[in-house]
Chains A and B, each alone.
Chain A
Amino acid sequence: MPALKISHLPGIVGLILFMAIGLFAPWLSPHAPDQVIGMAWDVPSALAPLGTDNLGRDLLSRLIWGTRTSLSVTAVAALIAFLAGTTLGFIAGVCGGWIDQLISRVNDVLMAIPTLILALVILATLPKTLGVIILVLGVLEATRILRVARALAADIGAMEFIEVARLRGEGLVWILLREILPNALPILIAEFAMRFVFILLFLSALSFLGLGIQPPTADWGGLARDNKDGILFGIWAALIPGAAIAILALCINTLADWLLGANTRAWGARHHA
């Protein structure tokens, strides 16, 4: 673990805070997320510390539950993206030859399409269940991770200690898991953190456009969508979920900074876009 600097602390603490809120939402939230407790867009009061939303529901409660939804969906999608991208990327990077060509070319085609456009196209007709959304996000982001993982595996795979492992007759699985992965981990984790942010932004954008998490389930993008009309009346409710996303993204950036801080060997750095 690289040295932890004071400047990293606020970001990491913030991250832990967000995760805690998401985890303990049922106990932290003052009201149920879809319970109407007042008029539309009430000013903040003792009952509703952040005021109410466009339907009179407590904004704070919706925000807390929204944290849970946003973070969990993002986390699952990120995990899928990470596992799929890393596995395929490693295989492509180490094996080379036609396997590499096949995986890389399919990946290139998927990457050539702007993700939002493709997601909109798919979600336009498919039912917008959680499963579909997570799958779409996961697969599209996996392409980016695949590229990084492949570059890492190719770089590390060129080292002689991989040759030594081959000369021992080690199989592909061993080489990937015990020789390459430990050396690739720091960069992969940092990349995972970056992808998490992008998936979160992506998910929120989809929800904002009405093609992501469907109401009444609260998520940050959906909250922005619900309250956007309020802006024209001077209601700042729609800004809160956006601010939450921005703050969380900054915290994760700090985490990535910290992890990449003392990276002594820059594996795959020149491939990293």
Chain B
Amino acid sequence: MLDSSGTVAPPLLAVEQLHIVASGKPQRTLVEGISFSLNAGEVLGLIGESGAGKSTIGQAILGHQREGMAVTGGRILFAGQDLLRSSEAQLRRIRGKRIAYVAQSAGAAFNPALTLGEQVVEAARVHGLMDAQAAREKALELFRRFSLPDPEQFFLRYPHQVSGGQLQRAMIAMALCSGPDLIVFDEPTTALDVITQLGILQAIAGVIREAGVAAIYISHDLAVVAQLADHIMVLRHGRRVEHGTTGQILHAPAHAYTRDLLGAERAGNRPQTVQSETAPLLTIQSLSARYHHQPVLHGICLNLAKGRTLALIGESGSGKSTLGKVVCGLLAADAGSMTLEGMTLPSTLRQRTRDHLQRIQMIHQIPDNALNPKLLIGDQVDRALRTFTTLNRDQRQRRVMALLDRVGLDGTIAQRYPHALSGGQKQRVCIARALAAEPELIVCDEPTSALDPLVARDVLALLRQLQQDTGVSYLFITHDLHVVKEIAHDVAVLCEGRIIRQGRVDEALGAPLDDYTRRLVEAVPQLRQDWLAEMTGYTSSSVSTAAPSPLHAY
């Protein structure tokens, strides 16, 4: 990059051989030998799974390490100054002023006791960049740019009074208010649904373009990063796997791991299609239900056939989890009926027989919470066998081993406690436990949402295989369209407690589409660089200040 005199200008940020370790008895290396440079106005994407070290690097750029971490080598040069060797006072002059940080969870980042406005302008005021009036003006301007409703009122609101999506945008406004040269975005849209995510991506893209701010965008979602980044670095276990321009990474990845990540997103996997029409397993008629006294489901009618997977898709708050709970009997329905293989299925657990309980099993979203931390893995699977089979102790032992083996786990896992396992392993244990009952239907409540993309892909493959082998049916709840395409034969779209579309995946998600489903389908980021630009027409014409719709609650 050449400056005005024609000589090469030094980069804005230069990271050289960064080494970070976690202090502890066996010292763990978190980041090893990472180097990259960033020029003004450039965007670098840091891609990796959890534990890859991306957040650690992101925070290190602000000269900040979380408790228990220490930098053991390297330099971080920002505008010529080594941040790792600067004093706290020097770092304070840079943080919030020249380098800003946007955290993953906006809810945790804002102080509940102060107004949003005060927090947004705080950095600009404290660093003496502008007076109160000017800072407020700038904040309001940013609120308007991010399509936040009624900016003047928003300024006076408290964090708990606004939605998650609005908070996230407020956080970006907070970072921009002081006009920094560099912003570190730490997974800012990970916790949000696709439609909110789209709005925020557009806001970020617009702002970066106009203000010429450099940025580091951290995420595990390649499709999202591809929209914003000029070049991408792939990380794994704290080491650099690959580093190149976005185009290179997307179209000509050099490393197998990168190809893996791309493959996980491209989703070439499909569920096995069942040839003939099969008998219905679960039928739901005109079901209505409440959750915490609020009506959530209205007149649900569903059909799930044997050996097939029905995906239930919807945004958060659409009632899909509630429906899953009703099917399992954890929540009582207000009206309507359910039948399992033609026989009535009682609404509550108490009314159900052991036979009913055995035939419907459930897998949860967060495997950490679905396993009792104080019991051995083997014992937990064994308990399921004791309840639902008549095997004696030796037979059960063997069956436990067989089940663990079937889900791809080593038998020694049975003697360990849940905290010793990884997220993917824990989820496999949960699947094994569900299989122990030899059920006909498994309700899967977003079982891969909390897992890394590659791990999730493997778990989905396992589920597909199990369906092929045992003929079990899945009621698969998810908010991710990619997952729907990978696992489901049929799909039902849920919006505000009503099913607005149902049918085979190709048909239900193909044209002609109703408004809602179309928005849902289109908001999913695709693995090409120009996708976001295409979407610009999308918001300005349909969503922004239009009539209130369920989608505009953010």
Contact = CB atoms under 8 A, between A and B. Distances in A.
Do A and B touch directly, given a CB cutoff of 8 Å in the complex?
Answer: yes
Interface of A: 159-161, 163-164, 166-170, 179, 182-183, 264-265
Contacts of B366: 160
Contact of B370 (A164, A166, A179): A164
B375 A166 contact: no
Given A160-B364, A160-B366, A167 B357 contact: yes
A183 B374 contact: yes
A169 B369 contact: no
B369 A161 contact: yes
Given A160-B364, A160-B366, A167 B373 contact: no
B372 A167 contact: no
Given A167-B361, A167-B362, A160 B384 contact: no
The 5 closest A-B pairs by CB, nearest first: A182-B374, A160-B370, A160-B369, A160-B364, A161-B372
B372 A169 contact: no
Interface in B334-372: 349, 352, 354, 357, 361-362, 364, 366, 369-372
Given A160-B364, A179-B372, A169 B387 contact: yes
Given A159-B369, A160-B366, A161-B369, A167 B349 contact: yes
B349 A161 contact: no
A163 B374 CA distance: 16
Nearest to A180: B372
Contacts of B329: 167
Contacts of A164: 362, 364, 370, 433
A164 B442 CA distance: 13
Contacts, number: 47
B328 interface: yes
16 contacts: A159-B369, A160-B364, A161-B371, A163-B330, A164-B362, A166-B349, A167-B328, A167-B330, A167-B349, A168-B357, A169-B357, A170-B387, A182-B374, A183-B374, A264-B419, A265-B373
B126 to A, nearest CB: 31
A256 B513 CA distance: 62
A161 B370 contact: yes
Interface of B: 328-330, 349, 352, 354, 357, 361-362, 364, 366, 369-375, 383-384, 387-388, 419, 433
A207 B336 CA distance: 65
B325 to A, nearest CB: 9
A264 B373 CA distance: 11
A105 B349 CA distance: 28
Nearest to B364: A160
A89 to B, nearest CB: 19
A261 B277 CA distance: 60
B362 to A, nearest CB: 6
Nearest to A182: B374
Contacts of A161: 369-372
Nearest to B350: A169
B436 to A, nearest CB: 10
Nearest to A183: B374
Nearest to B418: A161
A166 B370 CA distance: 12
A49 B366 CA distance: 64
A179 B354 CA distance: 20
A265 B371 CA distance: 14
Nearest to B445: A160
Nearest to B330: A163
A90 to B, nearest CB: 15
A168 B364 contact: no
Contacts of A159: 369-370
Nearest to A179: B372
B14 to A, nearest CB: 40
Contact of B330 (A166, A170, A179): A166
Contact of A168 (B372, B374, B383): B383
Given A179-B372, A183-B374, 16 more contacts: A159-B369, A160-B364, A160-B369, A160-B370, A161-B369, A163-B370, A164-B370, A164-B433, A167-B349, A167-B357, A168-B357, A168-B387, A168-B388, A169-B349, A182-B375, A265-B373
B340 to A, nearest CB: 15
Nearest to B434: A164
A164 B329 CA distance: 12
Contact of B384 (A168, A179, A182): A168
Residue among B357, B366, B383, B433 with max Cβ neighbours from chain A (10 Å): B383
A183 B372 CA distance: 8
Contacts of B361: 167
B426 to A, nearest CB: 11
A222 to B, nearest CB: 43
Contacts of B362: 163-164, 167
Contacts of A163: 330, 362, 364, 370
Contacts of B375: 182
Contacts of B328: 167
A159 B364 CA distance: 11
Nearest to B383: A168
Contacts of B370: 159-161, 163-164
A257 B373 CA distance: 22
Contacts of B383: 168
Nearest to A169: B357
A159 B328 CA distance: 16
A51 B366 CA distance: 66
A168 B361 CA distance: 9
Contacts of A182: 372, 374-375
A179 B374 CA distance: 8
Residue among B349, B354, B372, B433 with max Cβ neighbours from chain A (10 Å): B372
A265 B417 CA distance: 15
B331 to A, nearest CB: 11
A169 B373 contact: no
Nearest to A185: B374
A169 B357 CA distance: 7
A161 B372 CA distance: 6
